[in-house]
Amino acid sequence: MSLTADTDVLKRAVGFSAVDRYVRSGTCLGLGTGTTARWAVARVAERVARGEEIVAVATSTATERQCRELGIPLVALGEREIDVAIDGADEVAADWSLTKGAGGALFREKAVALAARAFVVIVTPEKLVERLGAFPTPVEVVPFAAVTVACAVEAAHPGVRVRRRGGVAPFLTDNGNAILDCAFGPIDDPAALDAALRAIHGVVATGLFPSGLTSVVLVADANGTRELPEPH
C-alpha cells in the first residue's frame, strides 16, 4: 500500500471515530473542510441513511456540496445551536493551538468552531507539532487591500505570498477574499500573532486557532484512534 493510501486509511478511521464518539441522533453539528473532514461527512451520511435525525452546518461550499450529494440535511450558521463541530487541522501544537486553512475555508471553519459547544479536531500523526509555524499561516484578506496587507506583514515577517489557483489566477475563498500564505517560522504566541494580524486593516481572519478553542484532539495511527490528553 502506498503512503498516500495508508494515510487515507487513517483519515477515514479518525473521521469515522469522531462521528461515532460525539454525534447522536438529534445532533446539530458543524462539518469541516478537507481530506480528513470529508470522512466525517461520509460517516454522518451513513447515520442519516439509517434514519438518525442529524443536521449539519457546512464550513464551505465544497462540504455543503458533499452533504447535499449524500443526503445530509443542512442548516445555516445561527439557525440552530451547534452541539459539536468536527474538523481537521494542518498543525496541532502541544498546547492545542492550531493552524488551519490549507483549503481556504479558515474564516467559516473558525466561525463554526466558535459557535459550537464542543470542537473536535481530527488528525493523523504528522500534524502534531511542538509549536506552530512549519506550515505557512493562511491569512484571509479583502482583495482590494491584499497588496497593502502583504506589505505590512512583510515588514515584520518576510516570506508572504498570494495564494494562486493553478499558479496563475489568485485563489478566492467562498467569501470572495484572497489568501496570503505567510512563512512565519516557529510561532511562540499564536494568540498574539493572530491579534496582531487581525489588527491590520483588510485582514478578515487568520488560520491561527487559539488553544482554548479546541475541546478534543483525536489522532489515528497504526495502533488505532486515540484521544490526546489535555495540555497542562
The pLDDT tens digits for 2-14 are 455 589 999 999 9
Is domain 137-206 in CATH 3.40.50.2020, yes or no?
no
The torsion angles phi and psi of 69, rounded to 5 degrees, stand at -65, -30
CATH of 3-128+211-222, one of 3.40.50.1360, 3.30.499.10, 3.30.420.40, 3.40.309.10: 3.40.50.1360
Q: How far apart are CA 153 and CA 131, in angstroms?
A: 20
Known active-site residue 130: no
Evaluate if residue 79 carries a pLDDT over 90.
yes
Q: What is the pLDDT of residues 200-215, one digit of tens each?
A: 999 999 999 999 999 9
Mean pLDDT score of the chain, rounded to an integer?
A: 96
What share of the chain in percent tops pLDDT 70? 98
Q: How big is the CA angle at 92 (ends 89 and 97), to the nearest 5 degrees? A: 105
Q: What is the pLDDT of residues 94-138, one digit of tens each?
A: 999 999 999 999 999 999 999 999 999 999 999 999 999 999 999
Half-sphere exposure of 171 (CA within 13 A, CB side): 20
Identical fold between 3-128+211-222 and 137-206: no
Q: Where are the domains of the chain?
A: 3-128+211-222, 137-206
3-state class of 180 per DSSP? strand
Residue whose C-alpha cell is 473532514: 37
Catalytic residue among 109, 126, 154, 230: 109
Q: How far apart are CA 117 and CA 135, in angstroms?
A: 28
Stronger pLDDT, 44 or 169, i.e. the higher one: 44
Contact present, 126 and 11 (Cβ < 8 Å): no
Contacts of 6 (CB under 8 A, 6+ apart): none
Contact present, 162 and 216 (Cβ < 8 Å): no
